[in-house]
Amino acid sequence: MNSNSFENQLNADDDLLPEYSFDYQKAKPNRFANRGEAKRLNIVVLDEDVARVFTTPEAVNKVLRALIESMPQSSVG
């Protein structure tokens, strides 16, 4: 089997045309793309007992911010 017949066999099941014309006037913005300032998310997995108490990201962040405020400030330098 030469490479041309192999390529023909692969392309036989391919519905795509070699070239498509795209009407950019009908395009819609990608709702998953970052808009404006990118917000960085860090994923943290909570243990089950902690997740039962802190059920929303807002609750976790509120408690962690309170903990940060109560921590002594270390001198960096």
pLDDT in tens, 12-42: 556 667 777 778 888 888 888 766 666 677 8
pLDDT of residue 73: 83
CA distance 51 to 43: 14
Average pLDDT over residues 44-54: 95
Q: Which residues contact 44 (CB under 8 A, 6 or more apart)?
A: 60
In a domain, 55, yes or no: yes
Domain carrying residue 56: 38-77
Specify if 31 maps to a domain. Answer: no
Domain membership flag for residue 26: no
Summarize the confidence of residues 64-77 as an average pLDDT. Answer: 81
> Quick check: is 1 in a domain?
no
pTM: 0.45
Q: Is residue 10 situated within a structural domain?
A: no
